[in-house]
Amino acid sequence: MPIYEYVCDDCGEKYEKFVRSSLAKVKLLCPTCGSERGKKAFSVFGSAGSGKKSSDSLGGFSAPAPACGPIG
């Protein structure tokens, strides 16, 4: 059950929405201005590494490979 990030078209506020299914109809409501006009934002997430020492700036976390095809 993913949490998606959205951006309000009216005020630009970024907010998250818990969605039970990727096929579910989502009713958006900006927590700042109350607008129902928003769009899904592109977001990335980190995942724990395999325990190896890493010298990258993410402290052992890495972004996943890009998805195949458009989302949404």
Please tell me the distance from the alpha carbon of residue 55 to that of residue 62, in angstroms, as a whole number: 11
Q: How many domains does the chain have?
A: 1
- DSSP code of 65? P
- pLDDT at residue 18 in the model: 85
Identify which has the larger pLDDT, 70 or 35: 35
- Distance between terminal CA atoms of the chain? 16
pTM of this structure = 0.53
Label residue 62 by pLDDT band (50, 70, 90).
Answer: low
- pLDDT at residue 52 in the model: 54
For residue 37, the enclosing domain spans 1-44
Q: Is 33 part of any domain?
A: yes
State percent of the chain over pLDDT 90: 32
Distances (CA, A) of 7 to 4, 25, 42, 51, 57: 10, 17, 10, 35, 27
Q: Is 20 part of any domain?
A: yes
Residue 2's CATH number: 2.20.28
Identify which has the larger pLDDT, 21 or 50: 21
Q: Is 12 part of any domain?
A: yes
Give the residue-averaged pLDDT of 35-52. 74
- Are 14 and 33 in contact, with CB atoms under 8 Å apart? no
Q: Is 54 part of any domain?
A: no
